[in-house]
Amino acid sequence: MELLFLGTSAGQPSKSRNVTATALKLLDERNEVWLFDCGEGTQQQVLRTTLRPRKITKVFITHLHGDHIFGLPGFLASRNFQASEEEGQTDLDLYGPVGIKDFVMTALKISKTRLAYRIHFHELSESGKIFEDATFRVYCEPLAHTIFCLGYRVVENDKTGELDAEKLKADGLPFGPLFGRVKKGEVVEYEGKRYAPADYIGGDIPGRIVAIMGDTRKSDAAVRLALGANVLVHEATYEAKEAVMAKKHGHSTSRQAAEVAQEANVNRLLLTHVSARYVGPLATQLAQEARQLHANSFVVKDFYEEKV
C-alpha cells in the first residue's frame, strides 16, 4: 500500500504544484490503484509516473469544486485507450457527491466521447460504509467546507497471524501440505498427535488505515475518520496566523490539521492542498507549525510517495 501525490496545490496550479489528485497504490494487495480527486492536468501528472490508467479501478471525489474534478472527463476519455488485446478494458467505480454523475455524463455527451468500459456511479449524501470486500472497507463522512465535501477512510481487513513453522516442525509435523492445512485453520492429526491451529498461529495482524480528507475546516468528522490511522492526508491551505481566513473559506491551517492528527492519534500526518503563496521556506514553515503539535508531520510535494 503506497500513496502517490499527483497534485498538491490549493485552488489553482502553480509552477511547482498541480491541483489535487492522490493515488492509493494497492498493487500488491489487489493489483489496483484508487484515485482520490482528479484536478485539471491529472492525466499529464500520471504520464510522469509508472501508473497505468487502466489499473485505476476506483475514483473517489471529495467535492465538486473545479480544482478537484476538472481533470476527470479528460482522464476518463484517455483511459479509454489504455486497454490491451491481452488484458482488455476494465470497468470503473466512481464515488462522489450528488451531481458527479451529471458532471461526467454532460462532459462526455457534449464532447461525443464514447467509452469502451462502464462507469458505475455511486453518489453519496451521508456518512457510512460505501465499499467492502475480502481485503478492504471504505467509509465516508461529510466534512466542513463551503459546499458538500467528503472525507474517506480506507481500512485494510485484518490478516491471519503468521504460522510458527519452526514450532510445528519441532513438535514432529513434517514440512509439506500438512503445514498448509494448519495455516488454513484445520486441526491436523499425524502419528497419533493432534496439531491445533490455535497453538501454532499468532494473533491477527491489524490492517492498515489511511484517511484522506477533502477540503475542510477543522472538524470532528475528520477526527472520526482518522482515528488510529497509519497515515492521515489532510489539507493545510494556510499557515497558523491565517486561521480567520481559513475558516472563512472553509479550509484549515497546518496547525489545525495537526490538531486533528493529535486528537485522532494518527501515526503520520501528510499535509497537502497548499496555497500557492507558500513556496520554498514558507512551505517548510507549514510543516514546522504542524510539528509543534504532531511531531510526525510532513508537507508533501507533487510525486512524493509514501509507503503505508
Catalytic residue among 37, 67, 215, 302: 67
Active site residue 67: yes
Q: Catalogue all structural domains in the chain, each as residue range(s) with its CATH number.
A: 2-158+206-307 (3.60.15.10), 165-199 (no CATH)
User: What is the model's pLDDT at position 257?
Assistant: 97
At 137 the pLDDT is 97
pLDDT by 10s per residue, the chain, length 308: 999 999 999 999 988 899 999 999 999 999 999 999 999 999 999 999 999 998 999 999 999 999 999 999 999 999 988 765 556 678 999 999 999 999 999 999 999 999 989 999 999 999 999 999 999 999 999 999 999 999 999 999 998 788 888 898 898 898 888 888 888 888 999 988 999 988 888 888 899 999 999 999 999 999 999 999 999 999 999 999 999 999 999 999 999 999 999 999 999 999 999 998 898 888 889 999 999 999 999 999 999 999 99
> What is the structure's pLDDT at 238?
95
- pTM for the full model? 0.89
How high is the pLDDT of residue 164?
A: 87
pLDDT at 191: 86
Whole-number pLDDT of residue 88: 66
* Pairwise CA distance, residues 223 & 290, whole Å: 16
Give me the residue label for grid cell 510526525: 296
Residue 85: the pLDDT is 52
